[in-house]
Structure 1
Amino acid sequence: MVKNLLSVKPEEPLASRILEDFETFMTGFVSLPFNIHGTAYAKAVKARARLSSTVREIMEERRKGNISSNGGLLREREEEDFLDVILSKQNLTDEEIVSIVLDIMLGGYETTATLMSLIVYFLGHAPLAFHKLKEEHQTIRENKRDGEFLTWEDYKKMNFTNYVIYEAMRCGNVVKFVHRKALVDIKFEDCGAEFVIPSGWKVLPIFTGAHLDPDLHECATEFDPWRWTDNYKEMNKKIIAFGGGVKLCPGSEVAKVVIAFFLHHLVLSYRWKTKPDECPLAYPYVQFRRGLLLEIEPAAAAYQIH
């Protein structure tokens, strides 16, 4: 992710420093917002400040070394990266650029990897869903030449794959809640009663409450991608997978494409089993009891990909 975003190669010391700060930031991102010394949230606030400083330093280096006589940004690296693109947008402030970079990193790395792990776990316990997913990807592969890469058009055909992704997010709840602040007094009604959230109050929308509500979802604790098949739009109203409105995750499509292409190769190439006592836990961050150890072997199917 840092290579595509910032042209920082994985083997560089800066990449390791960014990763360490990012993991601290991510852990505190899903913790209660108590900014007290020693808490996960307080550590996350400091880690986020360090990450912001790192991105700003890279931005300044670009501006100092890569500005042409007419003010245009020169491309001195082998390939254009994401930071080049957003630096070319004159309507964005530095703080907005930093925020976008960190949000894309958040959506494209830690949460994506965790969701991948949850999908592997759920599919290992749902053979019917696995076979349905495999059939979808076999059909896509049959229409490709040997060695031909997947395309955006292929991704748009992965309907059941998207149902699997959304259902894993509903059941797994990678992010249990988010931190929000009321900028004005908020009034709303529930069951005839009116509630007011005063301006300045912190709000923690708890996604799990809606995602596992039996009044909203039949057999709410069961992994069932088919519940999305006929009710996709209605289901989207009942879950908060990637936020919403102006707070919609800017990395959502990146995450879905990465996971969909990963699943394409996984289900066609391998079979796996999880340990009997393995299960995902939340502290509140999602982790696996035994680190998701798998018994994995190559698939014997004719569609195995090398």
Structure 2
Amino acid sequence: MHDFCFTIPYGLILIGGGIVGYVKKGSITSLAGGGVAGLLLILAGYLSLKAFKKRKNSYFALLLETVCAAVLTWVMGQQYLQTSKIMPAGIVAGISIPIFILLVKRRRLSQRLPPGSLGVPIIGQSIGLLRSMKANTAEEWLLKRIRKYGPISKLTLFGKPTVFIHGQAANKFVFTTDSSTISNSQPKSLRAILGDRCILELSGEDHKRVRNALMSFLKPESLKEYVGKIDEEVRQHLEMHWHGKQQVTVLPLMKTLTFNIISSLLFGVERGIGRDRLVGDFQEMIEGIWSIPINLPFTRYNRSLKASARVQKQLKDLIQKKRVELEQKSASPHQDLITCLLSIHNNENEEVVTEREIMHNVMLVMVAGHDTSSVLITFLIRLFANYPAIHAAVLQEQEEIAKSKSAGEFLTWEDLAKMKYTWKVAMETLRFFPPVFGGFRTAIKDIDYGGYLIPRGWQIFWVTSMTHMDDSIFPEPSKFDPSRFENPTSIPPYCFVPFGGGPRICPGYDFAKIETLVAIHYLVTRFNWKLLCSDNFFSRDPTPVPTKGLPIQLSSRFQQGSYASAS
């Protein structure tokens, strides 16, 4: 039986006893002592009940029970033994009994929790994980945990108690369990920086409503209209930053390219001071997404919070400007993502998505669209330098498409559909280097999983690469082999998850695919390159990045007399 089952009733009895003592004997001591002790015990029981529901321990309730026992013992001594010397004994008893109750309760709970240690409060294993990600040893760090504790273990990450799960069944559980059991609540650092109304945080009807609104712009049927705009941004970027250069560093250029595409297509922010200011604040903002949530002036988390506030201010001004343009009919509803979201109304002619939801989800799309595509394109360029045969096959496919285009003609949706081998190579690259390391969910209620208890309020942590590099799912997982994706149905469900899975699969999947294919088309048909850095080392922060940014020696295919796209 839990302590609150008797502390609350016993508290009521004490109050009643105090009243009886006062009525019958006129004892102020009985009334005061019984009343105080009873109220303390009821409050202790209430706190204990709240803690029990959260599967935690209330140390304040323990303190109240101790004080209550001391007060009660003193009253008894005054009334019956006429001495206060019993006070020390009362304190000892008052401390011993609640501690005994607490230990029994903790033992009962710990017997059902997964193995592992929660570590130091708030910090826990966060520093160890972040350090291993920085050193590109995160998978080994997790495998060491699995060897020590098994497939399910507990730890503390980013300020909250967490259960780490992995494997196909774990992925399915995370991606398909309904929102009444687990929610999309993210770590405090991510939630504080990206906002609490993005779809990473929403569940149930709110998630469905906002996701449907986003998909009205990001679905393939809508994106077909924007292939030409992406094509134009890619060619402008190559003209400004690649043509005529003998050496470039790929990663920062790819980040610039993807941010320009996002700014133009999703926000309608054209080149200029406004875009430059936004990109600077954005880069600083995303640096603290996976960080320990300690808000002090010298921490990365603090700097990211301040940058997030600046980004939100700029987006709020932009949203208000777009709303005015729509009202004045000077902007079309499908001009960009923001105007699209502002234009969606329900039957009562009310906006379906609030201004705050637009702001927070635009920030999420910025992060997802920027990091995913820039990392993927960077590693594809690295791959082509290391695997000449794969590069040649991709080039052949892209040249066939380029030959069908007239000078200056944009790529089309139909052209992208022909890039089948290129996308298989991209998917195998995503298997090797998933841009998203993993993710979090939060238990809405107590969950029995794998024979263990995941208490309500705890985080659930899953990692993308655990199935990607599992040799029982992908034979010879360390071998780069695009043919794995010849028949996508041969890959077991919930095993290839670079974009998540189930009803919560990333809504920007098709957008990232278009960005990648258009960029690769022009890169391979216009340039040859070789790596200038033999160091193949990369780290995660939290996306995988080559430590030196991938410097390459560049040459134009035009100069070599070979065919290059004139488009």
Give the structure-2-normalised TM-score: 0.48
Question: Which has the larger Rg?
Answer: 2
Aligned to 2:462, the other structure's residue is in SS state: coil
- CA 1:164–1:27 in 2, change beyond 3 Å: closer, same or farther? farther
Q: Percent identity?
A: 25
Query: How many residues were matched structurally?
Result: 294
Counterpart residue number, 2:114: none
Cα distance in structure 1, aligned partners of 2:423 and 2:489: 10
Shift of 1:56: 2.2
Instruction: Give the deviation of 1:217 after TM superposition.
Output: 1.8
Q: Report the CA distance between 1:47 and its aligned residue.
A: 3.4
Task: Determine helix, strand or coil for the equivalent of 2:506.
Answer: coil
Unaligned runs of 5+ in 1: none
1:57-105 deviation digits (Å, cap 9, x = unpaired): 3222333x3364xxxx62259x933211111012222233223312322
Q: What is the CA-CA distance between 1:277 and the residue it aligns to?
A: 1.8
Distance 2:482 2:408 in 1: 30
2:307 to 47, 54, 69: 47
- C-alpha offsets along residues 121-146 of structure 1, whole Å, 9 cap, x if unaligned? 11211112112211221222233334
Q: CA deviation at 1:35?
A: 4.3
- 1:212 pairs, out of 469, 475, 490, with 469
CA separation of 1:233/1:98 partners in 2, compared to 1, >3 Å: closer, same or farther? farther
Matched, 1:243 2:500: yes
Matched, 1:66 2:325: yes
Do residues 202 (structure 1) and 459 (structure 2) align?
yes
> Does the CA-based 8 Å contact 1:268-1:301 persist in structure 2?
no
> Partner residue of 1:259?
516
1:110: Cα distance to partner?
3.0
CA contact (8 A) 1:278 1:292 kept: no
**Structure-2 separation of matches of 1:222 and 1:75:** 54
Q: Is the partner of 1:155 in helix, strand or coil?
A: helix
Contact 1:35 1:41 in 2 (8 A): yes
2 CA distance for matches of 1:232 and 1:46? Answer: 45
- Aligned counterparts of 1:66 and 1:283: Cα–Cα separation in 2: 41
Higher helix share: 2
Residue 130 (structure 1) aligns with: 391
Q: 1:147 to 1:59 in 2, by over 3 A?
A: closer
For 2:291 and 2:473, locate their aligned partners in 1 and report how far apart those are by CA, in whole Å. 26
Structure 2 residue 349 is the aligned partner of structure 1 residue 86: no
Give the letter for the 2:287 counterpart.
T
Instruction: State how 1:14-29 maps to structure 2 within 5 Å.
Output: 14-29=274-289
1:289 counterpart = 2:289: no
Instruction: Provide the C-alpha distance between the structure 1 equivalents of 2:541 and 2:365, rounded to a whole number of angstroms.
Output: 22
Residue of structure 2 aligned with 1:143, choices 404, 417, 427: 404
Distance 1:259 1:301, change over 3 A: farther
Give the equivalent residue in structure 2 for 1:305.
Answer: 565
Q: Distance in 2 between matches of 1:217 and 1:137?
A: 28
- CA–CA separation in structure 1 for the residues paired with 2:427 and 2:369: 16
Q: State the TM-score, normalized to the length of structure 1.
A: 0.84
Aligned residue for 1:223, secondary structure, equals coil
User: Which 10-residue stretch deviates more, 114-123 or 42-51?
Assistant: 42-51
Return the offset for 1:117. Answer: 0.6
Structure 2 equivalent of residue 75 of structure 1? 330
Counterpart AA for 1:15: R
CA-CA distance at 1:216 after TM superposition = 2.2
C-alpha distance in structure 2 between counterparts of 1:185 and 1:47, whole Å = 37
**Compared with structure 1, are the counterparts of its residues 149 and 61 closer, same or farther at alpha carbon in structure 2 (3 Å cutoff)?**
closer
Q: Which deviations, in whole Å up to 9, do the C-alpha atoms of 1:203-227 show, x marking residues without a partner?
A: 3321122222233222222322121
The answer on whether the counterparts of 2:322 and 2:331 sit within 8 Å (CA) in structure 1 is no
| 8 Å contact kept, 1:103–1:251 | no
Match in the other structure for 1:184: 445
Task: Report the residue type matching 1:66 in the other structure.
Answer: E
* 2:473–2:491 Cα contact (<8 Å) kept: no
Higher mean C-alpha displacement, 45-54 vs 100-109: 45-54
Q: CA deviation at 1:183?
A: 3.0
| Cross-structure match for 2:479 | 222
Query: Aligned in 2, Cα 1:45/1:182: closer, same or farther, shift over 3 Å?
Result: farther
- Alpha-carbon distance between aligned partners in 2 of 1:280 and 1:253, rounded to the nearest angstrom: 29
> Which residue in 1 is equivalent to 2:413?
152
Q: Which residue of 1 aligns with 2:531?
A: 274
Superimposed CA distance per residue, residues 173-224 of structure 1 (whole angstroms, 9 cap, x where no aligned partner): 22212233233334433xxxx2332232123321122222233222222322
1:157-182 CA-to-partner distances (Å, cap 9, x unmatched) read: 21112112211111112221223323
